[in-house]
Structure formats: C-alpha cells, structure tokens
Chains A and B, each alone.
Chain A
Amino acid sequence: MSLDTGRVWTVARREFLATVRRKAFVLTLIGTPFYFVFMMTITTGSSINAARKSISQFKAFGVVDSSGLLANAEHTMRSSVRSGDNPFQRRVPGAAETEQVFNTEVRFYPDAAAAQNAIRKEEIGQAIIVPADYLQTGHVRRYVRSAGLFSESADRAVSRWLAANLVRGKVEPELAARVARPLADEATFKLDKSGEFVAKSDNDELGGVFIPFAFAFALGLCITIGGQYLVQGVVEEKESRILESLLCTIRPTELMAGKLFGLGAVGLLVITVWGGAGLVVGLPALAAMHIQLPPFILPVAVAYFLLGYLLYGSLMLGIGAVTNNMREAQQFSVWFSFANFAPLIVMWKVISDPNGGLATFLSLFPLTAATGTMMRIAASGAAVPAWQVGLSLALLAFAAWFSLMIASRIFRIGLLMYGKTPTLPEILRWARQG
C-alpha cells in the first residue's frame, strides 16, 4: 500500500509542532544541559571549595615532640590548592593555572595536656603527639576539635610537613623537599588505542567515567523522550476517540509514519541542541582536560539515535495501540525504557572492561545497542572493533525494520479496539494476520 507523503508530512508537522510548543518540552530541552553542567559543577566545585575552606581555616597546628626529632622543624606549614582541580569550571584555553597558597602556624607544646587545652580554647584545630619511641614504632596520636569531612588536604599538609622536617638539616634541602613530595611533578603515560604510550592527564579518570556516562545517558534520553511522546500521543488520540474520525481520512500506516517522523525530528532537535551545548560548553573543558573524543562519535551517535528511535518508537506505537490509557501503556513501556538504560546500570563493568563479554553483548543486543555501544566508544582506553560497531548497527537496523512491520499490523488493528486489553496470543495473532 502506497503512502500519501502529503498526509504523512501533515501529521509529522503537527506532531512536531504540538510537541515542541509544550512548556514541559522546552523546559526539558533547555533545562537538561544546564542541570547537567550545574550538578557536575556543584558536585566537584563544592568539594574543591570545601578543601579550600578547610585549608584556609587551618590557621594553627599543635605539636608535642617527645622524640626530639622535630627540634629544628619549621614553624610554618605551607599548603596549596590549584585552580585546575575543578575540571568543570570553564577556563580560557591556554590560560595559566593558578595556585593558592595557605600558611599554617605550627605551635609546639610541652605535653599532651597543654595541646588538648589549646584545642579546647580553640587556639588550634588539631595537634599531634610524637612519642619518644616514634622512630622505632611509628606511633603517633592526633587530637582534633572535629572530624571534618573534607580534611584530606589538611592531612596531606601535615604529612608533608612531618616528612620534610624529620630529615631537615640532616640531608640536602632538595632531598628533603623530594621526601616531602616524592611525586609532586609526576608525568604518567598510558597505552592508547594505537598501541603507543601517550601522556595521561590527571583528569583522564574523571573523563573516562563522565564522558561515556554523558553520551549514553543523553542518547538513551533522546530515544526515550521520542518514544514516550509517541505512546502518549497514540493513547491520547485513542482515549479521546479522535482516531475514529481521523482514520476515515488517513490510513493507519500514514498516521504511524507521520508520528514516527514528526517525533523523530523532535529527538533530532534535542540531540542538536544538547550536542551544540556540549560543543560550546564541553569542548573547552575537555580540551583543558586533554581528553580527545573519537572524531566519528557524533555521526555514530546520530546513526544510533535514528535506528534506536525507530526500534523503540515502533514498540511504543504498538503499545499505544493495544492499551486503553496512559497508565496501562506505562506498565508495558517501562520495561523497554529499562532495557534502553540497562547499560548505565552496569556502567562500571562496561567502562572498566569496554571490550569484555558483557560490554560486547550490550552493544550487539538491539534493545541496549544504542546506549551500550556509545558508552563503549566514549570510554577511555576502549578500542571498539569497527566490525562490532557495523554488526551492532546492522542488527539494530534489522530489529527496527522487523519491529516496524509488526507494529504497523498491531497498530492497524489495535487502534479501534476499546475496553479489554488484548492478551499476548491475541496480539501475536494480529501480528500474523494484520
């Protein structure tokens, strides 16, 4: 049966416009990237700020030295926080990294009781007791006013001060500095996909988790949004009996095609806006982190979106046609949404072993292929074989085509069925006979 492209276009245009004009859609479209960046900035920024605050409040530190090892120790403890510690704070590419230095006064007390009193009077925040047998046992006691959550930076400063001053005057100053911070200027090289060792950034670990998650999540969300609008639209038209008069004018296959195209365009709009936002906001951040994404990742993402959407969307159309209201439809559609996001649930397993059995299965199984493969491709250190990407796309394309054929049969029959939800054998019979 031939489709009237004019009617398909008319339906597609209406579906597109009716969707993008919704306030909820505009909020999702614009709000999601902001929310994402905001949450990441807040999460990482707050930890950096907390560290800075912790260090800046670390004004004075007490020491009780019963060992005599610290007799010549410095009375100032230096610590610093670098601006690059927050990769999500956008920086001008090429701008110099800044370092904020904090000084903490070291006060010596004759015994533990005196140090404890100083803490009680809030003269110092904490103190360590270095016993006489410290060299033999390594035992140290520490007294603190409160166990802060973000005290790691203060701990690190104390540890460095102690290391440097234990050897101060006994070795060359350079050696003392190295003892205090042996890995202060470390350069790490990692094996890349081409078998070469390349410089590894401190941010690789973060990028290796964040980037695959962001790609898989955004793609899964685009597919789900399109699919959910489809099922919602069909259920609304069926529930309100609009279909009765509509089907007199348009064939079910034309209606289905128009809806798929119109809401597919909505998904593409979402990808474009989010992708654009990612380019504007994300690329400088990625460049600052020295993270490079595979150049083909965006075209592959679009291909996975289109095929994933066709598969998911046709399933949603079928569900919309056989159910009577949104509540019923959600009961069925939630399982497919779950499958779509399943790779995110096992994300740690996939990104830690991107070429392992589970990751490979998730990128070949059509219902998880889009999010699964995108996560693998974006994971740092992964070298997804081209044949696997090709096979994954081919399997997804076949599943989408098969699902479309079955869904169009179920859609035709299910649209005018009201009341009782059909049983699985009935649906299978429609799929065979339709």
Chain B
Amino acid sequence: MLEVRDVVKTYDGRAVVDRVSFQVQPGEVFALLGPNGAGKTTLIRMITDILKPDSGTILLEGEPVGSRPRGSIAYLPEERGLYRRAKVLEVLSYYGELKGLTRPAARTAALELLDRVELREWADKQIQALSKGMQQKVQLCGALIGSPRLLILDEPFSGLDPVNVQLFEEILHERRAAGATVLLSTHQMNKVEEVCDRALMINRGHMVLYGRVGEIRRTYADHAVRVRGEGSMDGLPGVHSMKAVDGQVELALEPGATSDGVLRALLERGVRIESFALATLPLEDIFVKVVREGIGLDHGASGPPTVDEAMAGGVR
C-alpha cells in the first residue's frame, strides 16, 4: 500500500505540493490528475524518492520510500527515452539487474516481457531500429521488469494505436490482479473512467478532488435524470424543465425532488422506459469545471482536508 501523508514541497518559497495526502491499496489502479504545472511530476518524483519532501511522509508497504528496496517502484515517465544504439534485450536486462535481478534472471524476465508485448523477434535489434510504438512497449517492459510493487505510469497510452492501447490495458489489469499498486497519471479522462478505481486531482499543488471515480462523477452530476422511452413526459411533478440530449430526454429536477420520485411518476403515467440514469458529467467536463472555477483551492471555513479525511478517501 502507498501512503502519502501531508507532503509539502516548496521551491523559492512557493509550495509546489501543499499538504497532499492519499493512499493507494494493493491491486488498485489509482489516477493522479491535474492540469499542467499542478505539481504532479514533483509529487511523483517524491514518491519515487528522486526528490525529498520538505515535510510529510511517504510510505510504501509501511516503509519510508527512501529505505525500501530500490526495485520495488517503477516509473514510466511521460517524456521517456532509451539508449538508442543499445540492443533491446541488453537494455531490458540492464534495467532488470539495476532492480536487483541476477543477470540470467534479468535476461529471462526480459524475454518473457518481450513475449508478452509481442516483440520477442526484436530482442537483438538496436532500439533505434524500432518504431515509436515499439519503443514505447520496450519502455513499458523496462518499467515492468522486476515485478515492482508500485507501478507509476505517466501518460502510458499517448501515441499508441488502439490495438496497443488494449494491450497496455490488459497488462495493467494483469499487474493489478497480481497485487501491484498502479498509479496512473494521464489527461485521457476516458481511460481514467475505464481503468481506474479511484482518483486524486491536484491543482496548484492542492488536493481538489479525491475519491472513487464513480463517486466523483455522481457528486458533480447535474440535478437531472436522462430517460430513454416512449410516452409523454411533460409536466411531471418535481421536474422544472426538459430537453433532448443524444436521443434521450434530460429532465432537470426541482430542488428537493428525487430521482426515485421522478421514476415513480413516469411509471404511473405509463411511459415505457428503456433506460433511466442520473445525468452525470463526463470526467473530462468535471476536470475542466474544477480547474476553470478553481474549485477546491479555497477550502473556506473547513480548511484543507485533514490527513485522516484524506486517508479515508472520501469525496470532497
């Protein structure tokens, strides 16, 4: 389990990461979100022990990250590179050895990973002979070798074709099934909705969203329901307006009205219902809304979340 407690990092008197706390469970895929310059890279560098926090603690499986075995965390940065003149198998074996594997074990693990990403026949080729997508697969293998307990992936899907995106997702699920903790930093919100259990969003170094992805979407849902069906929906009690959206009817509820009440009213009226759901916003819209409106930056009277609140993982 990864635990980040009240971590602060300041540059030139400016808090780049300000009292950030969260935890990620083993087998969980966790999204770290935020606009450019929000402090994500600094936070990741502190988690990987490349940078030291000014205050706060970061624990991996109960141990400070600085004292853990060095191969237990793997990081696939957004801007990544490889030794262009080296051979694929050499590079992966080198990464494996740095993570504590013996040379034969590193070679075996590298070949298994190359098998998994369908690049076995490229093992003895120079990196520079590979396409960009192939290089990205080799980079993923470099992060995966040594079976790290915590896998941090920064924009792992960018530049990949749909087939390889699917391959990456399958590998993510395999790692999560094996009990690894996965921290995913991305701006592809649809991927967060598809593969992540929970998410943390930071803006200007502050935590502004934290919780289960579904909860976050429900919290930011409009007070409305979307119905697909046949029959008149005019003048329903508790509904103050209606509009057509994507072949459905979106019913905006009056304050105090509930979705249950509207559903009952529809059934009583004899409307044949094909689908009925809360009108939630896509995560991308929530992201834009939170950043544009500066939601969460001013914590008001309640102040920033306490460590315990944050650790509880509730939605703010």
Q: Residues of A at under 8 Å CB distance from B?
A: 4, 6-7, 10-11, 14, 18, 236-237, 239-242, 244-251, 416
Contact = CB atoms under 8 A, between A and B. Distances in A.
A240 B50 contact: no
A18 B126 CA distance: 12
**Highest count of chain A CB atoms <10 Å: which of B50, B71, B79:** B50
A242 B81 contact: yes
Contacts of A10: 94, 97-98
B111 interface: no
Contacts, number: 63
A14 B84 CA distance: 14
B98 A7 contact: yes
B157 interface: no
| Interface pairs A-B: 6 shortest CB-CB | A240-B81, A244-B77, A248-B75, A248-B48, A241-B81, A241-B79
Contacts of B70: 4, 7, 249-251
B50 A248 contact: yes
A241 B95 CA distance: 15
Contacts of B84: 240
Interface residues of B, number: 30
A431 B106 CA distance: 36
B77 A241 contact: yes
A93 to B, nearest CB: 46
A18 B83 contact: yes
Interface of B: 45, 48-51, 70-71, 73-77, 79-86, 94-95, 97-100, 139, 142-143, 152
Tell me what chain A mostly uses at the interface: helix, strand, loop, or mixed: helix
Contact of A416 (B45, B49, B98): B45
26 contacts: A6-B100, A7-B70, A7-B97, A10-B94, A18-B85, A236-B83, A240-B81, A240-B83, A240-B84, A242-B80, A244-B75, A244-B77, A244-B80, A245-B75, A245-B80, A245-B139, A245-B142, A247-B48, A248-B48, A248-B49, A248-B74, A248-B152, A249-B70, A249-B74, A249-B99, A250-B98
A416 B77 contact: no
A249 B76 contact: no
A245 B98 contact: no
B142 A247 contact: no
A240 B100 contact: no
A14 B94 contact: yes
B300 to A, nearest CB: 36
Given A245-B142, A416-B45, A240 B82 contact: yes
Contacts of A18: 83, 85-86
Given A242-B83, A245-B74, 4 more contacts: A11-B98, A18-B83, A248-B152, A249-B71
Contacts of B51: 416
A236 B73 CA distance: 24
Contacts of A4: 70
Contacts of B98: 7, 10-11, 246, 249-250
Contacts of B79: 241, 244
A416 B79 CA distance: 12
Contacts of B74: 245, 248-249
Nearest to B106: A10
Given A6-B100, A240-B82, A250-B70, A245 B143 contact: yes
Nearest to B48: A248
A309 B286 CA distance: 57
Contacts of A251: 70
Contacts of B99: 249
A244 B42 CA distance: 12
B146 to A, nearest CB: 8
A14 B83 CA distance: 11
Nearest to B99: A249
B181 to A, nearest CB: 15
A248 B44 CA distance: 10
Contacts of A237: 81
Contacts of A247: 48, 50
A242 B82 contact: yes
Nearest to A238: B81
Given A4-B70, A248-B74, A241 B80 contact: yes
A236 to B, nearest CB: 8
A239 B45 CA distance: 18
A4 B84 CA distance: 27
B175 to A, nearest CB: 16
Contact of B76 (A11, A240, A242, A245): A245
A242 B94 CA distance: 13
B67 to A, nearest CB: 11
A10 B80 CA distance: 21
Contacts of A242: 80-83
Contacts of B49: 248
Nearest to A11: B98
A32 to B, nearest CB: 22
A245 B100 contact: no
B137 to A, nearest CB: 14
B102 to A, nearest CB: 10
Contacts of A11: 98
A7 B98 CA distance: 5
Contacts of A239: 81
**Highest count of chain A CB atoms <10 Å: which of B73, B81, B82, B86:** B81
A266 to B, nearest CB: 16
